Each structure stands twice: as structure tokens, then as C-alpha cells.
Structure 1
Amino acid sequence: MPLHIATPLLASPALSAAAGRDVWLKLEAVQPPGSFKIRGVGLPMTVVVPQTTSAHARQAIAQYGAEVVVHGRAWDEARTLAQLQAWHAGLHALP
């Protein structure tokens, strides 16, 4: 089974009427893994995790090709570093 498929693009009459223009919905949640996140497959990525993240979870993230950076004792500290790194690089941090 592939990890990524072409997903449907559906018109939304209700949203189109409310917006006064055509609105289309791209149904990424129907990807085989059940997530839109699969769109990032193959893109370079750095994942910042707190010190409390298990070695098993870090290995799993790294196996998908991401660079894993361990920072802080809590998610808030890790997220802050991720946002700063993204800002300095002119990129976007995804929660």
C-alpha cells in the first residue's frame, strides 16, 4: 500500500456561499496513514523534542530521516527553540 495518494478536491457550496467565492476542500485526511502530514515525506526536517522524549521515540523520528534535536525539559522549551530556529532560517515551525 502506498503512503501517499492523490486525494479528492471537492467543492463546498455552503462555504462558497458564505465566502462569496468558490471554496474547494482538499481531503488530505483520506491519505492511507490518515494524516495530511504525509505530504512532508522526503522533505528535510528538524524535529526538536524535550529531554523527556524516550530514546525509542527519538530513534523512530530519526528513522524517517529527520534530524532530532533534544532541548529543554518540557514541550514549551522545545517548541520555543524550534520556532527560533525556523525564524532565523526563514522557515516555518509546525507544531
Structure 2
Amino acid sequence: MAESETEETLLEFPCRFPIKAMGKAESGLESAVAEILSRHAPDFEAEHMSTRPSRGGKWIAVTVVIEARSKPQLDAIYGELTAHELVVWAL
């Protein structure tokens, strides 16, 4: 692993890494998250994605655990998620 990569993160790759995105319910958020993850995480499997509605039902949280390979991979995923119009926040 390159020295600059280890300086930027405390994670050791590869590792299991949870990704969560939230947006309005009934917006197609699950499909958008699945599409983004399938581009950046080749071993991503949509059946392992879980969703949870907010108490009032207005929002939905989508969570998936991927096998993260590198910090640049995670940066690309989060960059695309946060730029997507259906995603209100991602963590």
C-alpha cells in the first residue's frame, strides 16, 4: 500500500465497510444506490442491501456492506452518492 494511502485513513484494506444513504421515500433511492455501488464495487450484491423507513415514512435509509478495496474506491462511491439528486446524505 502506498504511504500516502495509509496516511489518509486508519482502515486496512480490504475490509468490510458499511455505506448508508438517505433520501425521500418512494424516490427510487434503492435503485440509484445499487447502480452506483455496482460501478465501484464489483462484488456488490443488491440482495444484501437493507432499507429502513423513517418513523414518519417521509425518508428512507439504504444500507449496504461492501468489501472495500481502497480509500480511492470509497472516495469515488461517496463522491457519486453525494452528487446524486436523490441522495440527501451519505455516510
Q: TM-score, normalised by structure 1?
A: 0.29
TM-score normalised by structure 2 residue count: 0.30
Higher strand share: 2
Greater Rg by CA: 1
